[in-house]
């Protein structure tokens, strides 16, 4: 198990999930056995339903994904995903090295037929309902066909997992005209017009937070930059309020109240608590969490993985893209 | 003259600039003569120092830039830039169709030697001092060499125009490692290491608002999306506060105070008042403003253009990139 607070937060979140699950599923805790057992001892009495799979090697948050996967065959990431590939688990959840989890999911589980590139979809808050930003960091250089796939996968995810009956899919670009954007986007526009989704056309950066679409399609380079930019807004506002508060006693009071309001309002921008992001396009279920995932986030990731298994998200994606 | 409030706001801002300039410069008001004269009549007594150049044709905000430039040779954009090319003006300022102003600047003024692609640099607020996001929408598909040029041009702009003695230049990507990012970015990293700028390496989306760099380099596709996303944050927060305020009287009070604080804090995110964005890499000075530019914004754009002429920004860019 990985992440900045592993195995503590991961074990705690896993046991919480088991306690709440009422026996619907069991968990395999993959990682360094002794350290996992120490954490379990702290949380006694522990719920039933878990086993431990010892993983002697550790892929660090700073390790290069491909190199680490090649040299550390017995990491929790590799072992956990092999368990799924071999049918001994239905899903894999990790707060470890994002790149490594992503590469290992693609390498070990394999891509679904009809999928050229895997993707990760992150839910971002909007003035309306949350929007799936896909790809949010898996595939950097995308061909138009990959953007098409992201649109289809994202639409299926939002319908199946979030109950959006007809997800509105938009292609992130620099204007609403279909000839505006970079080469891949302009070509992807033409493909998406023929996709089995409710494609509403190009959207701009300003449309994301407006809630204009349920699925925002872009390459992983753009998606990752926008996602991280958005995540940094609360800290930016905090810094701004601090310098504003320094101006006068009245300003200090306003800033104090404003920040308490902001905290409430921005809680939804705390992607951490939302239960990680799914890897879409692979033969199985992988959920990747922030390195700093709290026990609550880990628990939510496990529940999200359970839902993805139950609702056959990846089978539905395969059916749509094979056609 | 163009923009959503032309010629009203443009004339008003121009006359304000003349009044404040104390005769340092004169202005040529390019547009439909009668309409300009009507606006001047409203603002009597008008200051000395202006002439009118009649432009019978109008490029609409929705016109396709290239088509409009081909068919409307007598638009204010074409006439104004030809005045500069022919040495009858030193700079061109417009709140009109951004794409058309940009294309016309490249076509009529021409690119500087050593510049492969023109760019526009937008100042974004950060927790520290403003950061120049370059390119913020001129060039969609960039080769590594173009990103290199943006870094050099941005650095010169921030030093010359904003007094930043050693501007820190960062390359926008998805991680700090030099091998992370899309193909163009990874290669641009290698080029920028040898650039005559203080290149601090890759930066992430979250670093932009932190104020980690003075110049953030990216292609115009990414830059435009990030810029517009950022511009939409205030409206998003307003929407969030409105739904929060609906919850209780106490919440309403908090929201009211918070929003007044926010307004102050976010005023700097109001790019409109900042005086437009410069086109860098062309043989001359062009400043492009928002379509909705206020008279204040127009005035600031004129002063910014004056500074760019005085400080020889484009000569300095040429010297750096020719080498």
| Mean pLDDT, rounded, of chain A | 92
CA A216, B274, B276, B152 torsion: positive or negative? negative
Question: Which CATH number covers residue A2?
Answer: 3.40.718.10
CB contact under 8 A, A210 and B236: yes
**Same domain as A21, residue A111:** yes
Q: Reduce the DSSP state of residue B124 to 3 states and report it.
A: strand
Nearest to A178 by CA among A167, A168, A192: A192
| Mean pLDDT, rounded, of chain B | 92
CB contact under 8 A, B228 and A141: no
**Same domain as A110, residue A125:** no
Q: Which of A172, A241, A265 is facing B225, going by the closest CB pair?
A: A172
Which pLDDT band holds residue B287 (cuts at 50, 70, 90)?
very high
**Same domain as A24, residue A48:** yes
Peptide bond into B7 cis (omega under 30): yes
**Same domain as A95, residue A127:** no
**Same domain as A131, residue A72:** no
CB contact under 8 A, B205 and A221: no
- The whole-angstrom distance between B52's CA and the closest CA on chain A is 33
Cα A290 off chain centre by: 8
pLDDT, one tens digit per residue, over B293-304 is 899 999 999 999
Angle at B211 between CA B210 and CA B216, to 5 degrees: 110
pLDDT, one tens digit per residue, over B209-227 is 999 999 999 999 999 999 9
Residue at a domain's end among A231, A261, A294:
A231
Contact indicator for B171, B219 with CB cutoff of 8 Å: no
Whether residue A270 lies within 8 A of chain B, CB to CB, comes out as no
Determine the pLDDT at residue B121: 95
Residue A259 lies in a domain: no
Over 70: is that where the pLDDT of B269 sits?
no
Q: Reduce the DSSP state of residue A201 to 3 states and report it.
A: strand
**Same domain as B90, residue B14:** yes
Residue A236 lies in a domain: no
Instruction: Report chain A residues whose CB lies below 8 A from the CB of B255.
Output: 261
Residue at a domain's end among A203, A231, A259:
A231
Residue at a domain's end among A231, A260, A290:
A231
Instruction: Report chain A residues whose CB lies below 8 A from the CB of B251.
Output: 261
CB contact under 8 A, B221 and A257: no
**Same domain as B280, residue B190:** no
More confident residue, A68 or B245: A68
Residue B264 lies in a domain: no
Residue B246 lies in a domain: no
**Same domain as A73, residue A3:** yes
**Same domain as B5, residue B110:** yes
Over 60: is that where the pLDDT of B272 sits?
no
**Residue-number span of the structural domain to which B83 is assigned:** 1-115+272-323
Determine the pLDDT at residue B270: 60
Burial class from Cβ neighbours inside 10 Å (0-12, 13-18, 19+) for residue A87 reads exposed
Residue A239 lies in a domain: no
Residue A190 lies in a domain: yes
Which pLDDT band holds residue B316 (cuts at 50, 70, 90)?
very high
**Same domain as B156, residue B127:** yes
Residue A323 lies in a domain: no
Which pLDDT band holds residue B204 (cuts at 50, 70, 90)?
very high
Determine the pLDDT at residue A145: 98
Q: Which of B229, B254, B257 is facing A205, going by the closest CB pair?
A: B229
Over 70: is that where the pLDDT of B248 sits?
yes
* Cβ neighbours of residue A142 closer than 8 Å, sequence gap 6 or more: A117, A135, A150, A184, A188, A219, A220
pLDDT average, residue stretch B9-29: 96
CB contact under 8 A, A240 and B208: no
pLDDT average, residue stretch B55-79: 91
Determine the pLDDT at residue B225: 97
Determine the pLDDT at residue A269: 59
pLDDT, one tens digit per residue, over A11-62 is 999 999 999 999 999 999 999 999 999 999 998 898 999 999 999 999 988 8
Question: Which CATH number covers residue B206?
Answer: 3.40.50.10750
Angle at B162 between CA B156 and CA B168, to 5 degrees: 55
What is the number of domains present in chain A? 2
- The whole-angstrom distance between B93's CA and the closest CA on chain A is 22
Over 80: is that where the pLDDT of B187 sits?
yes
Cα–Cα distance for residue pair B15/B48, rounded to 1 Å: 9
pLDDT average, residue stretch B276-298: 93
CB contact under 8 A, A237 and B264: no
pTM of the model: 0.94
Determine the pLDDT at residue A292: 86
* Cβ neighbours of residue B132 closer than 8 Å, sequence gap 6 or more: B121, B122, B123, B124, B154, B157, B158, B162, B167, B214, B215, B216
**Same domain as A46, residue A91:** yes
More confident residue, B166 or B244: B166
**Same domain as B46, residue B65:** yes
DSSP B293-321: --HHHHHHHHHHHHHHHHTTHHHHHHHHH
User: Low-confidence residues of chain A, pLDDT below 70?
Assistant: 268-274
Residue B218 lies in a domain: yes
Whether residue A296 lies within 8 A of chain B, CB to CB, comes out as no
Whether residue B307 lies within 8 A of chain A, CB to CB, comes out as no
ipTM score: 0.93
């Amino acid at each position: 198990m990985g992440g900045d607070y592993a195995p503590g937060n991961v074990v705690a979140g896993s046991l919480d999930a088991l306690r709440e699950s009422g026996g619907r599923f069991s968990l395999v805790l993959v990682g360094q056995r002794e350290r996992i057992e120490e954490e379990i001892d702290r949380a006694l009495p522990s719920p039933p339903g878990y086993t431990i799979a010892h993983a002697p090697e550790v892929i660090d948050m700073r390790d290069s994904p491909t190199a680490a996967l090649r040299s550390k065959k017995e990491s929790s990431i590799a072992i956990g995903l092999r368990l799924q590939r071999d049918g001994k688990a239905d899903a894999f959840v990790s707060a470890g090295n994002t790149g490594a989890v992503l590469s290992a999911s693609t390498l070990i589980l394999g891509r679904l037929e009809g999928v050229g590139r895997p993707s990760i979809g992150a839910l971002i808050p909007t003035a309306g309902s949350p929007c799936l930003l896909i790809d949010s960091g898996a595939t950097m250089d995308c061909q138009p066909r990959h953007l098409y796939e992201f649109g289809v996968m994202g639409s299926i995810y939002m319908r199946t997992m979030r109950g959006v009956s007809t997800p509105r899919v938009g292609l992130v670009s620099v204007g609403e005209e279909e000839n505006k954007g970079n080469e891949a986007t302009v070509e992807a526009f033409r493909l998406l017009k023929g996709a089995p989704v409710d494609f509403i056309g190009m959207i701009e950066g300003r449309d994301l937070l407006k809630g204009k679409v349920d699925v925002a399609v872009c390459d992983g380079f753009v998606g990752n930059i926008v996602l991280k930019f958005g995540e940094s807004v609360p800290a930016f506002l905090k810094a701004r309020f601090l310098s504003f508060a320094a101006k006068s006693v009245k300003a200090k009071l306003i800033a104090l109240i404003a920040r308490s309001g902001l905290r409430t309002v921005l809680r939804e921008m705390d992607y951490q608590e939302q239960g990680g992001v799914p890897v879409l396009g692979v033969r199985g279920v992988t959920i990747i969490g922030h390195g700093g995932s709290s026990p609550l986030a880990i628990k939510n990731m496990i529940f999200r993985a359970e839902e993805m298994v139950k609702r056959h998200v990846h089978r539905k994606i395969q059916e749509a893209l094979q056609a």
